[in-house]
Amino acid sequence: MAKRTFGNKLGLGFGLTVALTLIMGASSVTALSIVVDAKDDAIREAVDDLGSAEHLTTKAESRISDYRAYLLNGNEEFLNLTAQDREEFLELVVQLRGTLTDPETKALLEAVATTEAQHAAVLQPVIEKRKTITDLQNISQLNATEVGPARETLQKSISALTTKVRADVETARRDSSARATQGIILIIVLGLLAMACGGYIAWRLNRDLRREVGAAVGHIQSSSAELEAAAAQQATGGRDQASAMSEITTTISELLITSRQIAESAQRVSKIAEDTAEAAQTGDATIDQTRASISAIRTQVDQIVQHMLALGEKSQQIGGVVDLVSELAEQTNILAINATIEASGAGEWGRRFAVVAEEIRKLADRTAGSAKEIRALIDDVRGAVNTTVMATEIGAKSVDAGSRQFDDATSSFRRIAQLVATTNDATREIELSTKQQTTAVEQVNVAASDTARVTRETEASAVQTKQTAAHLSTLSGDLLDLVGTGRR
Amino acid sequence: MGDSSLVFRAGPLLCALRLDEVIETMRPLATHPLAGTPAFVTGICIMRGIPTLVVAVARLLGGAGADVSRFIAVRTERGPVAFATGDIHGVRTVSTSSAGRHEALLGDAPARLIAAVGTIDAAPVLLLQSMRLVPDEVWAAAASLAVPS
């Protein structure tokens, strides 16, 4: 019964009690039926058998009276009454044979029948003889000496039968009384058993009620206390939450203002991005013009390089010519000196020739000096040309590098333009998102206000819950008092 | 007064040779080094088909080498010798005097080479004499080299 509910236990207890009551009732009905049957048998025996037996006496006495009356006055009417009495007597005998069950009683009944037949046999000659007697003085002629003993025998047998039947009736009454006593004892025992079971069930129910319901109510009481504490804490938390929600609402309002400012800023940024995109498109055209200019510069630089290289080649050719002139001048110088030497040993003509040769040598020296100067100038020109070519090539390379860098700058600029376009799109998305965010923040603000309201309601509910928990705790104490466990 | 001489440069010095000792001037020829000769003998060259000793005048006079731009073929007692010199300034008249032949200045050995010291435009000019310029052992070395050929 430990795992069953208290309702089940209560139902089971009532069921057991009802079952015992039904058993007791059925047993009582059965016992009463038995007692009634026994009493009925006793009463029937008393009424039927004892009555019939007593009636046998009555009929015997009535017949005796009738045939005595016949014997006294000789009236046929009494003789008929005697015969009628005897028939009724025999009918009673036959009736008693059907109702009697005890063999001894039946034997007594047969003895009554036998004595009655003997009495009738003894009486019949007397009656016949009376029919012949007309004078009552002669009554002594009847000689009815055997009738008296036969009558007494009959009366004794009837009396014995009656006594036996009465004794049987008494026995039946006693039996029925004993059965009734047994039934009473059985009913009392069953009643005591039912009372004991009911008491046990009541004790178990009371114990379980005190134990389980008491424990449950105790738990309810402790839970109520905890609930009260939790409700108090919830109320405190609700107040804190309400104040926090108020701060959140304020913050969200500020956030809403900030979101609107961000939306306006995003809108301005979008406008600036559009202007930047237009400027980038304008710059794109400028870049194309600049690229054409750079290409023209590159072509001019190439032409300069070609011209300078041609100048270098011409200078080299001039140098070759100057070298040839210098060679000729040097050779002339040598020849002039040798001519002077040869002329020195040739007398007066030789001296004149030596003068001419010396002049030739001087011219050759001057020529050589001029050639040397020209050579130096040409070397300077070639150096300048080389320097110019190198500078021009460096410039060309710089133009190439600048062109590449300009290409890079162009690609970067176009990338910037694309990024500006992307930035424009992103800014528009930011603007849209910020507007959506502003709408969302407004919704959040509304939700926060609702939440603050709900929080205040929750706080009120928590206070109500606290009061209810306190009331429930008091009720639990009262219920514990009712159960009998007592307050904890 | 002085004789007409061929003035040329040998390193830092101005030198001169009398024209009667000079055969001709020419550009430097291919020179082959010659073993067993003094340091101033550069080697031997083929001049006009004849093996000719080449003497570096700057090394001979000052001991240090100098740029060579001309060969001067001179007459010696044993045949022509090529002087490797610098630029030739031409035929000039070098003024000499007895005071220019200074014994303490010229000494014994160089005295065989330098006949006198003259001046041109206040610049000193060494007047060389080529006849006894080349030692005998140098000629022997040149002869031994020439024998196999």
Domain that holds residue B41: 4-146
**A335 pLDDT more than 60:** yes
Number of domains in chain B: 1
Please indicate whether, in this complex, the C-beta atoms of B90 and A337 are within 8 angstroms of each other. yes
Q: If you average pLDDT over every residue of chain A, what do you get?
A: 83
Percentage of chain A lying above the pLDDT 90 cut = 0
Q: Quick one: pLDDT at residue A19?
A: 85
Evaluate whether A153 touches A112 at the Cβ level (below 8 Å): no
Token pair of A277, please?
């995109």
Token pair of A358, please?
């010396």
Q: Strand, coil or helix: what is B23?
A: strand
- Backbone torsions φ then ψ of B17, nearest 5 degrees: -130, 140
Instruction: Tell me the C-alpha distance between A487 and A214, whole Å.
Output: 10
A455 confidence band (pLDDT: 50, 70, 90):
confident
Q: Quick one: pLDDT at residue B148?
A: 47
Least confident of A320-334, A400-414, B78-92, B133-147: B133-147
From A345's Cα to the closest Cα of chain B, the distance in A is 7
Instruction: Tell me the C-alpha distance between A76 and A423, whole Å.
Output: 160
What are the b/e assignments for A287-316, b being 16+ CB within 10 Å? beeeeeebeeebeebeebbeebbebbeebe
Which of A341, A342, A345 lies at the smallest CB-CB distance from B6? A341
Least confident of A292-296, A468-472, B100-104, B128-132: B100-104
Please indicate whether, in this complex, the C-beta atoms of B91 and A354 are within 8 angstroms of each other. yes
**A421 pLDDT more than 70:** yes
- Closest chain B residue to A345, measured at CA: B20
Which of A330, A344, A361 lies at the smallest CB-CB distance from B90? A361
Q: Quick one: pLDDT at residue A486?
A: 63
**Long-range contact list for B77-80, CB < 8 A, 24+ apart?**
B77/B131, B77/B132, B78/B134, B78/B139, B79/B50, B79/B52, B80/B23, B80/B47, B80/B50, B80/B52
Which of B24, B27, B70 lies at the smallest CB-CB distance from A341? B24
Q: Is B19 on the interface with A (CB under 8 A)?
A: yes
Q: Quick one: pLDDT at residue A1?
A: 46
Residues in chain A with CB shorter than 8 Å from the CB of B6 are 337, 341
- Picking from B7, B8, B17, B22 by the largest number of A CB atoms within 10 A of its own CB, the best residue to mutate is B22
- Picking from A328, A338, A344, A363 by the largest number of B CB atoms within 10 A of its own CB, the best residue to mutate is A344
Which class for B85: exposed (0-12), middle (13-18), buried (19 or more C-beta within 10 A)? buried
Mean pLDDT by 10 residues, chain B (149 residues): 82 88 92 85 91 89 83 87 91 70 52 76 83 67 59
A48 confidence band (pLDDT: 50, 70, 90):
confident
- Closest chain A residue to B20, measured at CA: A345
Residues in chain B with CB shorter than 8 Å from the CB of A358 are 90-91
pLDDT in tens, A348-377: 888 888 888 888 888 888 888 888 888 888
Q: Crossing angle, helix A6-44 and helix A147-208, to 10 degrees?
A: 170
Q: Quick one: pLDDT at residue B149?
A: 41
Residue A359: how many other CB atoms lie within 10 Å: 11
Please indicate whether, in this complex, the C-beta atoms of B22 and A341 are within 8 angstroms of each other. yes
All domains of chain A in start order, with CATH: 6-215 (1.20.120.1730), 269-446 (1.10.287.950)
Which residues are bridge partners to B82 per DSSP? B54, B73
Q: How many CB pairs under 8 A join A and B?
A: 35
Nearest to A61 by CA among A91, A86, A25: A86
pLDDT in tens, A17-39: 888 888 888 888 888 888 888 78
From B4's Cα to the closest Cα of chain A, the distance in A is 8
Instruction: Tell me the C-alpha distance between A163 and A292, whole Å.
Output: 167
Which CATH number is B33's domain given? 2.40.50.180
Which residues are bridge partners to B47 per DSSP? B50
Evaluate whether A64 touches A147 at the Cβ level (below 8 Å): no
Q: Which residues contact A165 (CB under 8 A, 6 or more apart)?
A: A45, A49, A50, A53, A100, A105
Return the amino acid letter for A47.
V
pTM for the predicted model, two decimal places: 0.43
Highest mean pLDDT among A80-84, A208-212, A277-281, B59-63: A80-84
Please indicate whether, in this complex, the C-beta atoms of B4 and A344 are within 8 angstroms of each other. yes
Q: Is B26 on the interface with A (CB under 8 A)?
A: yes
- Picking from B6, B9, B19, B71 by the largest number of A CB atoms within 10 A of its own CB, the best residue to mutate is B19
Q: State the virtual CA torsion across A114, A117, A123, A127 in degrees, nearest 10.
A: 170
Q: Quick one: pLDDT at residue A5?
A: 75
Which residues are bridge partners to B118 per DSSP? B125
